[in-house]
Amino acid sequence: MQVIAINLAWGEVEMKHLRALRDCCLPIIFFMTIATACAGPSAGTLNNKSYKSIATLQQQYVWYDGDEARTVWLNPSLIAEFESSDATASVMRQRYNGRDVAAFPAQGSVRFWRLESGNSLNVTQQAKSEQYAGRLSPVFHDSSTEGGPLRALPGGLIVTLDPSWEKPQIDNWLIRKGLEVERRLPIGAHTYLLRTAPGIEALELANQLRESGEVVNATPNWWKPSSRR
């Protein structure tokens, strides 16, 4: 390896060594530039090519992660569809003016739609009232831009009940609240995944239960893209 000689007396770098350093480093810099350009989008985000522009999001929602309140931002033009099929995709395109922008077949056939018109909250509610066959949720972001990590609500919430409760107390509470257990989770004494409708209803119900003081914790059953595509 050649050493760049610096002449302290004259303050000059020997040009032949400088040229050697240039010839050595340029291929490395070129390779690093290409590698950066070819890297995919960050985990949990959509490729920017899916967007007309990286818009700033306005509408915020709060959810609880244990004792910590966290904020998400609603994307008014993106919808997540769970267990999407060719039949529901056709309806989404024709009736709700959806444009297919991303798919996650390895994660339960989840498909993302960009609405050409309308608001994601309104469209999901309209589809529910019209008995749309798919399960829909507005898309939320962890930051206030479309480029931020995203998440959606496939339905369900995770609730932790008082560890001192016996089974009759748990059953009575579930009946009184009109809730149904999908399965018990191996977290703590009384943690359950409860059934709910997909979409904003799951977030609102989780917050209501958390703020009621009747439960130890309640959080939406969030879906997020895995780090592997």
Same domain, 91 and 145: yes
- pTM of the shown model: 0.73
What's residue 21's pLDDT? 37
62 shares a domain with 34? no
Task: Write down the mean pLDDT value for the chain.
Answer: 78
Is the pLDDT reported for residue 4 higher than 60? no
pLDDT of the residue at 37: 30
Q: Which residue has the higher pLDDT, 210 or 86?
A: 210
Q: Is residue 228 part of a domain?
A: no
Cα angle value 118/59/92 (rounded, 5°): 30
Q: What is the mean pLDDT of residues 9-25?
A: 40
Residue 117 belongs to domain spanning? 55-152
Instruction: For residue 49, tell me if it sits in a domain.
Output: no
33 found inside a domain: yes
Share of the chain above pLDDT 70, in %: 73
Check which CATH number belongs to the domain holding 192 and give it. 3.30.70
- HEC string of 110-177 equals EEEEEECCCCHHHHHHHHHHCCCCCEEEEEEECCCECCCCEEECCCCEEEECCCCCCHHHHHHHHHHH
61 and 134 co-located in one domain: yes
